[in-house]
Amino acid sequence: MSVWKDFSSAEDQQTFDIIPKGTIARVRMAIKPGGHNDPSEGWTGGYATQGNTGAVYLNCEFVILEGQFARRKVWSLIGLHSPKGPDYANMGRSFIKGILNSARGFSAKDDSQQAIAARRINGLGDLDGIEFTARIDVEKDQRDGSDRNVIKVAVTKDHKDYGNGGSGSTPPVQAQPAAAAASNLPSWAR
């Protein structure tokens, strides 16, 4: 009998429990294109998504690269604009700055010409595929109230769990809980 008719020999389903809050992991970010462009804001290439409320964001998938949770995926939004005010966009810009600092090995406090240049991108497409160290958080899913993992914080070389220090040092790849509490994106900004 065909394996597509008799499923008795199929492996049992894998369950994916929530990754513990504060876990530090090396991730690769992929942007799901939403088709929204606004060249006056620098949003080209169709990477941005505009939601029903008028909010504009990057719809991101983060794949954990190594460690205990390797190949697991976490989904989060990075805010670009909210009709309710600048807070959503400011949080998104701060997160992207953190991602660039983490990926390129710079401290948030570094104001050298090299660090300033490392925080510049040609467009949102430069973020698609970027690898950095992230802190994984847990929040309630607004649709069904269940817990879900999100990423809202990039871990930079200033953080004790980033790596050995020094520009361009290799961040840790082993997922491990971090002591610091995660920041929370307000529900109005989603």
pLDDT at site 154: 96
pLDDT at site 167: 32
Query: Coil, helix or strand for 188?
Result: helix
pLDDT at site 173: 36
Q: Are 82 and 138 in contact (CB under 8 A)?
A: no
Q: What is the rounded CA–CA span in Å between residue 90 and residue 21?
A: 24
Q: Are 32 and 139 in contact (CB under 8 A)?
A: no
Question: Is the four-CA dihedral 58, 65, 19, 96 of positive or negative sign?
Answer: negative
Report how many helices (DSSP H) and strands (DSSP E) the chain contains, helices first. 2, 8
pLDDT average per 10 residues of sequence, the chain (190 residues): 84 83 96 97 97 97 95 96 96 97 95 96 96 96 91 91 45 36 35
DSSP 138-169: EEE-TTT--EEEEEEEE--TTSTTT-S-STTP
pLDDT at site 66: 92
User: Model's pTM, two decimal places?
Assistant: 0.79
**Can you point out the beta strands (E) in 39-130?**
43-50, 56-64, 73-81
pLDDT at site 125: 96
Domain boundaries, the chain: 23-179
